Structure 1
Amino acid sequence: MKKQFLGVVVGSLLLSGCSLGGVPVSLTGNENSATSSEISAFAIKSVSGSLWKTEDSGKTFMVKSQVDAKSSITKADILSIAYHPQKSGMIYVGTVDSGIFKTENGGDQWTPIAFPPKRIYSFILDKNDPDNRMFASGMVGEWGKIFRTDDGGTTWRDVYTEPGQKIPITALSQHFRERNIIFAGTAAGTVVKSVDSGETWANVGNEINGTVSDIAFDSTKSLVTYLLVFGQKVYYSSDGGVQWIDWEVEKQKEMADLQDRASRVSSKGNRSEGDSIRNQVTNLSKRNQENEMPRGIVSIASDPTQSGVLYAGTNVGLFRSTDFGKYWEEINIIESAKAFPIRSIAVNPQDSEEIVFVAGKAFYKSIDGGVTWMTTGLNVDRGVSFITYDPFDPKYLFIGLRNFK
Structure 2
Amino acid sequence: MGFFKKARLVFILPSLIILSAALPFRCSVSKDAGIFKSENSGYNWQQKVTISNKENIAGTDILSIVQDPLNPQILFIGTRGSGLYRSLDGSETWQQVSDGNNILQKSDDVYDIAINQNNPNFIYLAVFGGGFGKVLRSQDGGQRWEEVYVISQSGMPVHRVVIDPVSEAVIYIGTAQKGLLRSLDYGLSWQPLKWFDGAVFDIKIDTKNNQIIYISTSGKGIHKSVDQGSNWQSLAASMKSFKGSEQAISILIDQQDSKILYVSLKDVLLVSYDQGQTWQKMNILIPAGSATIGALIQNPQNSSNIFYGAGSVLYRTINYGETWITHQIPSTKKVNVIKIDRTSSDTIYVGMSK
| Conservation of the 8 A alpha-carbon contact between 2:291 and 2:310 | yes
C-alpha separation in 1, matches of 2:313 and 2:57: 22
C-alpha separation in 2, matches of 1:230 and 1:199: 28
C-alpha separation in 2, matches of 1:289 and 1:337: 17
Partner of 1:103: 87
Match of 1:178 among 167, 170, 174: 167
| Matched residue SS, 2:271 | strand
C-alpha displacement of 1:382: 1.4
Partner of 1:300: 251
Task: Structure 1 unaligned segments of length 5 or more: list them.
Answer: 1-19, 26-45, 252-287
1:154 aligns with 2:178: no
C-alpha separation in 1, matches of 2:297 and 2:321: 12
| Matched residue SS, 1:57 | coil
Partner of 1:209: 197
C-alpha displacement of 1:148: 1.3
C-alpha displacement of 1:184: 0.8
Paired AA for residue 72 in structure 1: N
C-alpha displacement of 1:100: 0.9
Aligned residues: 326
Structure 1 pair 193–367 and aligned structure 2 pair: CA distance change class (3 A): same
C-alpha offsets along residues 163-185 of structure 1, whole Å, 9 cap, x if unaligned?
A: 34443222211223322221111
C-alpha separation in 1, matches of 2:296 and 2:276: 16
Partner of 1:87: 71
| Conservation of the 8 A alpha-carbon contact between 1:57 and 1:394 | yes
C-alpha displacement of 1:351: 1.5
C-alpha separation in 1, matches of 2:25 and 2:112: 26
Partner of 1:199: 188
The percentage of aligned residue pairs carrying the same residue is 26
**Correspondence 1:267-346 to 2 at 5 A:** 294-336=245-287, 339-346=290-297
C-alpha separation in 2, matches of 1:24 and 1:176: 41
C-alpha separation in 1, matches of 2:240 and 2:181: 33
Paired AA for residue 149 in structure 2: Y
Task: Structure 2 unaligned segments of length 5 or more: list them.
Answer: 1-23, 99-103
| Matched residue SS, 1:364 | strand
C-alpha displacement of 1:139: 4.5
C-alpha separation in 2, matches of 1:338 and 1:355: 22
| Conservation of the 8 A alpha-carbon contact between 2:236 and 2:245 | no
1:112 aligns with 2:96: yes
| Conservation of the 8 A alpha-carbon contact between 1:214 and 1:300 | yes
C-alpha displacement of 1:204: 0.6
Paired AA for residue 210 in structure 1: G
C-alpha separation in 1, matches of 2:210 and 2:141: 29
1:228 aligns with 2:216: yes
Paired AA for residue 169 in structure 1: V
Partner of 1:219: 207
Structure 1 pair 21–353 and aligned structure 2 pair: CA distance change class (3 A): same
Partner of 1:375: 326
C-alpha displacement of 1:92: 0.8
Partner of 2:123: 134
| Conservation of the 8 A alpha-carbon contact between 2:134 and 2:157 | yes
Paired AA for residue 168 in structure 2: R
C-alpha separation in 2, matches of 1:293 and 1:379: 30
Structure 1 pair 158–341 and aligned structure 2 pair: CA distance change class (3 A): same
Structure 1 pair 81–141 and aligned structure 2 pair: CA distance change class (3 A): closer
C-alpha RMSD over aligned residues:
2.6
1:51 aligns with 2:2: no
| Conservation of the 8 A alpha-carbon contact between 1:182 and 1:193 | yes
Structure 1 pair 347–21 and aligned structure 2 pair: CA distance change class (3 A): farther
C-alpha separation in 2, matches of 1:156 and 1:109: 23
C-alpha separation in 2, matches of 1:358 and 1:137: 22
Partner of 1:187: 176
- Greater CA drift, 146-155 or 312-321: 146-155
C-alpha separation in 2, matches of 1:153 and 1:388: 20
C-alpha displacement of 1:112: 1.5
C-alpha offsets along residues 48-86 of structure 1, whole Å, 9 cap, x if unaligned?
A: 141011111111221111112221111111110111111
